[in-house]
Amino acid sequence: MSDRSEFDAWAREQLAAVEDCLSRWVPADAPAGLGEAMRYGVLDGGKRLRPLLALAAAHAVGASRVAALRAACAVELIHAYSLVHDDMPCMDNDVLRRGKPTVHVQFGEAQAMLAGDAMQALAFEVLTPESDASMPLALQARLCALLARAAGYSGMAGGQAIDLASVGCPLDEQTLRDMHHRKTGALLRVSVLMGAACGDIDERVRDALAVYGDALGLAFQVVDDVLDVTQDSGVLGKTAGKDVDANKPTYVSLMGLDAAMRHARELRDRAHAALAQSGLADTVWLGRLADKVVERDS
């Protein structure tokens, strides 16, 4: 296992590349100030966990870096659009995101809605460049299919619908897990699968990486629920205690704080076991990302 400094150096290099691509691909000159709102919502903020997962998976399978960067940026655009829409008054009604006012606070609700819509479309534009040898049509189609299914009714959007319908309702662990498997986990899982899809992998590797992505996605949400009640807004960069105030079911409300953290560590161990089962020679960065998800404090 690589030491922390090597991982940090690798992560900084990947994040710089992702930020450069996003800055080039998110247009500043979109009409009527739309580009400004889009760039505000996606640039210069966030953990960029999803792009890191895509690039780590691509590294593990020896995939094309050019294709992997497009996959990484596309999934981040979908994530950013979802945050813009989730923060709006008709959904979670939040005013703070990534340490700054949310997009609808800064630009108004209509512009925020359009910015999210445009970011969603741009994600698929990024995956379908013309005349790019590193992105053959079959790969474009495969990546678009993976991302669309993860973002749509059976994935992230469906999970958000369940979340909104569950306010004030008691949920058992299976139902809570299903909700978060869709709302949060689907996009984290597909980040891994899209990165891997940029290379040549067999079914065994794909299945192992899917198990890794499922475990990591759920661990992320469990830790998110813990941090929501243990950290303040300044550390989180978003409003702390929102789930409790909104009477939303969480892993902490269901299991208790200590049991929730134990569950997160169990999920991390499951993710590591899946990497071992994959048979891939170099999963070091994927392993470190699983550790980071559970060890994080924001």
The reported pLDDT for the residue numbered 237 is 65
CA 77, CA 147: separation in Å to the nearest integer? 11
CATH classification for the domain delimited by 4-295, as one of 3.40.228.10, 3.40.190.170, 3.40.1160.10, 1.10.600.10? 1.10.600.10
Strand partners, 96: 101
CB contact at 8 A, 298 and 236: yes
266 or 243, greater pLDDT: 266
Residue among 6, 20, 42 at smallest CA distance from 120:
42
Assign 3-state DSSP to the chain and report helix, strand, coil percentages, each to 5. 75, 0, 25
Distance, in Å, from the CA atom of 147 to the CA atom of 249, rounded to the nearest integer, reads 27
Domain ranges, ordered by start, for the chain: 4-295
Give the residue from 24, 38, 49 showing the smallest Cα distance to 217. 49
What pLDDT is recorded for position 234?
A: 62
Residue pLDDT, tens place only, 192-245: 999 999 999 999 999 999 999 999 999 999 999 999 888 876 666 667 667 666
pLDDT tens track for 44-103: 888 999 999 999 999 999 999 999 999 999 999 999 999 999 999 999 899 999 889 999
pLDDT tens across 107-163, in order? 999 999 999 999 999 999 999 999 888 899 999 999 999 999 999 999 999 999 999
- Write phi, then psi, for 93 (nearest 5 degrees): 55, 60
Give the model's confidence band at 1: pLDDT under 50 very low, under 70 low, under 90 confident, else very high. very low
